[in-house]
Amino acid sequence: MPEKFEIVSDEYYSNCMFEAIKAKLQNPGIRLYFCKPRITENGHFRMFHFMWGDGKADYDFSDPGENELPLWKNLFFKGAVRRFPAGFAGKYTEYRNMGSRKGMKRLSAACIKYILTVILWQALELVFYGVVQHRIVDDIIGLILFWYIYQSEKSRLLGSRHRRKEGREHGCN
């Protein structure tokens, strides 16, 4: 049975990472929780997620409709802070971070590289155009870029595993 939550803020534009960092800066006693990105049991992709707790309750920032926003819209979206019973963030983080670890390292690395690329891309748009412009072509190129980054991580990690296996076969450590 899913935990009940209460929306404790008006809707505004942000993301869960910014809100968790803001909470930590306002109160250093806050505990942060990080949920790794993963592919769910039913095959859906779940972006990384941050939660925080103050010992009395746990919180997160999410889109109110639970619409599972597309990857490129997870960086900045309209949402609200939700309050959960104390202990929920720890249980949810454990659930989200468990399961098949196969491929998680490459998916995490690809997501981080993609996010850094998007931030750089938007910074360059600010420098050259004075504003970040949303264009469908950017979304398409972003998806293609993410696929290439992911494939690069996949081959990099598989290559290192193959090199270790070859080393063991030849008596190397």
Answer for the pair 161, 154: CB distance below 8 angstroms, yes or no: no
What are 152-162's pLDDT values in tens digits?
Answer: 887 775 555 44
What are 127-142's pLDDT values in tens digits?
Answer: 999 998 888 888 899 8
Q: Are residues 10 and 90 in the same domain?
A: yes
Q: Are residues 85 and 11 in the same domain?
A: yes
Answer for the pair 107, 150: CB distance below 8 angstroms, yes or no: yes
Could you tell me the CA-to-CA distances from 17 to 50, 89, 100 in Å, in that order?
A: 6, 14, 24
Report how far apart the first and last C-alpha atoms of the chain are (Å, whole number). Answer: 48
Q: Do the domain assignments include residue 1?
A: no
Q: Are residues 92 and 108 in the same domain?
A: no
What are 13-54's pLDDT values in tens digits?
Answer: 888 889 999 999 999 999 999 988 877 666 677 778 899 999
pTM above 0.85, yes or no: no
Domain boundary among 70, 97, 124: 97
Q: Are residues 108 and 93 in the same domain?
A: no
Q: Are residues 81 and 125 in the same domain?
A: no
Domain boundary among 64, 97, 130: 97
Tally of CB atoms within 10 A around 102 = 8
Go through the chain and tell me how many residues it has: 173
Q: Do the domain assignments include residue 133?
A: yes
Structure-model confidence comparison of residues 151 and 53, the more confident one: 53
The set of residues, in sequence order, having a beta carbon less than 8 Å from that of 14 and lying 6+ positions away, is: 61, 76, 77, 79
Domain count, the chain: 2
Q: Are residues 13 and 37 in the same domain?
A: yes
What are 59-74's pLDDT values in tens digits?
Answer: 999 887 655 666 666 6
Q: Are residues 147 and 93 in the same domain?
A: no
Answer for the pair 79, 11: CB distance below 8 angstroms, yes or no: yes
Domain that holds residue 156: 104-169
Residue by residue, DSSP assigns 120-153 as HHHHHHHHHHSS----HHHHHHHHHHHHHHHHHH
